Amino acid sequence: MSFLNQFDSLNKRTFSGEFPSIVSHSQEVLNIISQPSTSTIDNISADKIIKELEINVPESIYFETYESAIQFANKFNFEVVIKISGDKILHKKDLGGVISNIKNESEFKDSIEAIKTKFPNTKIQIQQKVLS
């Protein structure tokens, strides 16, 4: 069963108030999941869907410039996780595509460079680290 069919099935169920209504989703989210080839999606798209369900997710951005990335990481005192992101990448950690335990701006920049070198044509997600 495709992701979209699973979503439609979930949308039609009644949860007796246990879950928020998922009938009204933004057009952006519907566009993400309605692509015919969609069997997996990237991290930030998944986060958008989860947010639509009114479930909290850690803040994150895609790496675009060092300036914006450092500003984002600084917001959390560099307690962030750097991850590769793509709709075909399911086991990021197994591939060496997740870096955590970053302590400062220098380690942050080195981590970004390491990811960019190892995965040159892949999006990079920077996400607020949460304690488990």
- Cα(60)–Cα(79) distance, integer angstroms: 12
Q: Contact 62/124 with Cβ under 8 angstroms?
A: yes
Return the amino acid letter for 122: T
User: What residues does 98 pair with on adjacent strands?
Assistant: 83
Q: Check residue 16 and give its pLDDT.
A: 41
Q: Is the pLDDT of residue 23 over 50?
A: no
Q: What is the mean pLDDT of residues 98-127?
A: 94
**Alpha carbon of 56 to those of 19, 36, 63, 96, 113: distances in Å?**
13, 28, 21, 26, 29
Q: Is the pLDDT of residue 21 over 50?
A: no
80-112 residue pLDDT tens: 999 988 767 767 777 778 999 999 999 999 999
**Alpha carbon of 7 to those of 11, 23, 121: distances in Å?**
6, 10, 30
Q: Check residue 20 and give its pLDDT.
A: 46
pTM over 0.75: no
